[in-house]
Amino acid sequence: MKFQILLTAFAAAVSTTSMANEFVNKPSSLEMPIGTLAETGFTADGLKRIDAFFAAEMQKKRVPGGVVGIVRDGKLVYLKAHGSRNPETQAPMQVDSIFALASMTKIMVSVGTLTLTQQAKLPLFSKVSEYYPAVGSMKVAVRKADGSTDYENVKSPMTVQDLMRHTSGLTYGGRPDTSGAASSLYPSGGQAMKMNGTADFMDKITKLPLVYQPGTIFEYSLSHEVLGAVIEKVSGKSLDAYLREAIWSPLRMNDTGFYVSESNKPRQAYAFKLNPLDNKPQSIPPLEPGVTFECGGGCAIGTVPDYLKFGQMLLNGGEFNGQRILSPAIVKLMTSDHLNKKINNLFANLQNPHREGYGFGLGVAVRTEPGLAAIPGNVGEYSWNGSFGTGYFADPQAKLVVVFGTAVPGAGNIRGYHRQDIQNLVYGAMTR
């Protein structure tokens, strides 16, 4: 009889615990406690608005589905999958579905760089030409008044810091915000993904002129592709191998890397075959057909739970579950604004008024002023996102980490609005 009473009590406790937060579908690999809404400062009605948002987006055929993860005070608040991971087969989205991270790769490459920096193997002031001498021969293209182009010598050598904060003088080809005289010569991010390895990429890039003098202008660029090549040179390992050793394995980010195994391919999150805005064919190169170049700017794949671990590590000052990746001082350096008054900050132009009041750190956007951006958040918030429909932001004041994944590669402003809407919804659901 006593045993039966104990068994009943245990079952009730398990049931109560499992129902403590109806918004969490936790994978066994996440290694985070689940927080109740009361202790983490969220409302059920607020979080239900995230559910409603995805339901509406899917009804409009703007997105096949998505995954959103929210951690506050180190506790999991929300982790849910919505819709389909494969619009052709209608296979349901899972919380551990695999997304092409696109430019969210850049943050991990920045952390990989800083692991070498804190070992004094790769100082931020290092000249990139020390590792790839051909960089030192690159000229700067200057547009003359008559429309012709002249070429001048570099006044200040490109540094590792320049690569990390996008002041290298490099650019991305095909971007509407690109304004340098030689910008049309550059490959786009998608074209870079298809190059035949690091040597092929560096050979092609170093034959181009820079579009600005290094250290003078923020211009979003192929800088992290070059940074990944530098990591390979310093570490003596492939970028995949080094990031796995330095970050992914210690944090047990088992589904993150540059390649999708055959056994994991059914978990890939696929986009609509046709862009819902213009009905043109679209694909996601890191997933279809896969990468030929471990590009540090946008070629990694991963899951929302994996990236939550990574994001929480940074919020914790470089440590997660007993594994220290960076020192607190290095994390503070990374997440501080590195665009001084001598640098022309084109960042607001890149992201429109939603990014007003932001600077840029070492691989992340950093909110520097209150009240200017059209999205909520606190000074010190840092973030970045990916062009295939992924996003990440962390707010140290609010002790908040948010990661989301969708598969929206070519849908114009849809992915931009998702970033803004999800951030609005998260803060709107908070009670403190």
**pLDDT of 409 higher than 70:** yes
On whether both 89 and 115 belong to a single domain, the answer is no
Whether residue 247 lies inside any domain: the answer is no
On whether both 265 and 354 belong to a single domain, the answer is yes
- Domains: count for the chain: 2
**pLDDT tens digits, one per residue of 189-237:** 889 999 999 999 999 999 999 999 999 999 999 999 999 999 999 999 9
The arithmetic mean of pLDDT across residues 84-92, rounded, is 96
**pLDDT tens digits, one per residue of 115-160:** 999 999 999 999 999 999 999 999 999 988 888 899 999 999 999 9
The arithmetic mean of pLDDT across residues 16-44, rounded, is 85
- The set of residues, in sequence order, having a beta carbon less than 8 Å from that of 114 and lying 6+ positions away, is 326, 330, 333, 334, 362
**pLDDT of 2 higher than 50:** no
**pLDDT of 18 higher than 50:** no
Residues of the domain holding 54: 23-99+253-428
Whether residue 129 lies inside any domain: the answer is yes
On whether both 151 and 260 belong to a single domain, the answer is no
Which strand ranges, in their side-by-side order, compose the sheet holding 358-360? 91-92, 75-86, 65-72, 400-406, 390-395, 382-386, 365-367, 358-360
**pLDDT of 13 higher than 50:** no
- Given a contact cutoff of 8 angstroms between Cβ atoms, the answer to whether 316 and 394 are in contact is no
On whether both 336 and 291 belong to a single domain, the answer is yes
CATH code: domain of residue 87: 3.40.710.10
Return the higher-pLDDT residue of 126 and 412.
126
**pLDDT of 69 higher than 70:** yes
234-258 core/surface letters (b: 16 or more CB in 10 A; e: else)? bbeebbbebbbebbbebbbbbbbbb
- The set of residues, in sequence order, having a beta carbon less than 8 Å from that of 189 and lying 6+ positions away, is 102, 103, 172, 222, 297, 298, 387
pTM of the predicted protein model: 0.93
Whether residue 2 lies inside any domain: the answer is no
**pLDDT tens digits, one per residue of 196-206:** 999 999 999 99
On whether both 355 and 277 belong to a single domain, the answer is yes
pLDDT at 190: 87
Whether residue 350 lies inside any domain: the answer is yes
Whether residue 132 lies inside any domain: the answer is yes
On whether both 94 and 155 belong to a single domain, the answer is no
pLDDT at 34: 96
On whether both 195 and 75 belong to a single domain, the answer is no
Closest C-alpha to 410, from 259, 260, 273, 222? 273
On whether both 65 and 132 belong to a single domain, the answer is no
pLDDT at 352: 54
**pLDDT tens digits, one per residue of 352-389:** 556 788 999 999 999 999 988 889 999 999 999 999 99
On whether both 298 and 408 belong to a single domain, the answer is yes
- Of the ranges 16-30, 66-80, 415-429, which is most confident? 66-80
Whether residue 10 lies inside any domain: the answer is no
**pLDDT of 7 higher than 50:** no
pLDDT at 14: 37
On whether both 207 and 86 belong to a single domain, the answer is no
On whether both 303 and 387 belong to a single domain, the answer is yes
**pLDDT of 6 higher than 70:** no
On whether both 382 and 284 belong to a single domain, the answer is yes
Report how far apart, in Å, the C-alpha atoms of 52 and of each of 34, 55, 361 are: 22, 5, 34
Bridge pairing between strands 344-345 and 358-360: unpaired
Whether residue 8 lies inside any domain: the answer is no
Whether residue 220 lies inside any domain: the answer is yes
